[in-house]
Amino acid sequence: METEPATDEAQPHGAGDTYQAGPSQSLTEAVIEAVASASGLDAFEVADEFGPLYDVIDPSALDSLFESTRGTDRTVGSVSFEYGDYRVTVDGTGRVELADEE
């Protein structure tokens, strides 16, 4: 049986609209990687194409939203926002879903 090595980059799942954050990757980094991959851009080009992520959501708040605290596991719930051409939904498991803006 072969396994793929773990990486710190968002990995596509399914039809290309869902990504999973790497084990040491922040949710903000996962969002940028997911949008870059879906758009055919380099991660460094995303802000040039769609504007800075902080124009639509506070990256620090996004990263801390699902952080576990002493005695509390915050993996329940999700947050959605519009960024570039996508409706982005992030949950506490590190899953990033992209849906085309309508």
4: Cβ contacts below 8 Å, ≥ 6 apart? none
Q: How many other β-carbons are positioned within 10 Å of the β-carbon of residue 88?
A: 21
pLDDT of residue 77: 85
The pLDDT confidence band at residue 7, using thresholds 50, 70 and 90, is very low
Contact 70, 25 (CB under 8 A): no
Where are the chain's structural domains? Answer: 12-67+77-100
pTM confidence score: 0.79
